[in-house]
Homo-oligomer: A and B are copies of this chain.
Amino acid sequence: MPAPPSIVVGLNAAIVAVTDDEPRLITIEGSSRVPATGGREAPALPFGPLDPAGHRTLELGLRTWVREQTGLELGYVEQLYTFADRNRDPGERAGGPRVVSIAYLALVREGRVAAGTGARWRGFYEFLPWEDGRRGRPALVESVIAPALGRWMKAAPDAEARRARRERADITFGLHGAAFDSVRVLERYELLYEAGLVSEAARDAGLSRRPAVEVGEAMALDHRRLMATALGRLRGKLKYRPVVFELLPATFTLLKLQRVVEALAGAPLHKQNFRRLVETGRLVEGTGVRESRSKGRPAELFRFRREVLRERRAPGLSARS
């Protein structure tokens, strides 16, 4: 019998699509490989270990695992982050090998997921509801998060720590007049974690009771944290790289394009300015064809101008309102 490996490299994928103007990602549920959070199994991201003998590169290993677990063939893939905090994985505490996790972001046009695998598409904002500001600041922030953060601030040991907590809360959530920065998704999740507002915090601390106040649905391991990393990176990238088109069909109307950007950015955009941005950036070209089955005036169908990838310095969609 060979000795157990001392290190395992895990490949994790946040696979993102936008359907019906909602950002979604693939989760694996009901798999028994992940311990339950509270009663039932928490959703996890697709993942699998690097096979040192079989996988030639990390990305190829990831693609293989995703194909196996979801039946999907990935297109755009980008590495997010690698972490290996000790005891992050419960199996490690039980004497298992050290786990090094490498997280990836993948963008796909939503398709059917192979049946019977436990894989399903879930909405991003079911897990991170405070990130959807398309119809103004979510009510959840006013009604639940802000008051709870207020209690967290008051629980600080001294006046200086209290001031620091208040400032941090204001900046990350754009409270009390501070600007809300849509890219700071990870910072917001981590603040909620520290303040005990997500149930992963209690779970990781070894508590059996879930917190009295919690926001969003929990995920296995630190997969919700990883998801926050993915959304933040995606929002940032949107501004200077034409990545949205990975999520759209070959032709689309400008409104559709706008809706997809809004879905990811979690913020409404000014229609006319968005148009101007897209056109002056020469990101798309008209096809001459008009969309038929629409309510109002029919819109022209556009396609992505792949050439911009080689033309401009930083083509993206950075509009903010």
Contact = CB atoms under 8 A, between A and B. Distances in A.
Interface of A: 2-3, 5-9, 50, 52-53, 55-58, 79, 81-86, 97-98, 100, 102, 167-168, 171, 179, 181, 310, 313
Given A7-B7, A52-B7, A313-B179, A57 B83 contact: yes
Contact of A58 (B52, B84, B179, B181): B84
What is the oligomeric copy number? Answer: 2
A2 B3 contact: yes
Given A2-B3, A9-B100, A83 B58 contact: yes
A7 to B, nearest CB: 5
12 contacts: A3-B3, A5-B6, A5-B7, A9-B84, A50-B100, A56-B85, A57-B84, A58-B82, A58-B84, A82-B102, A167-B310, A179-B313
Contacts of A79: 81-82
Nearest to A88: B57
A56 B5 CA distance: 18
B5 A310 contact: no
Given A3-B2, A7-B50, A50-B7, A86 B56 contact: yes
Contacts of A58: 82-84, 100
Contacts of A2: 3
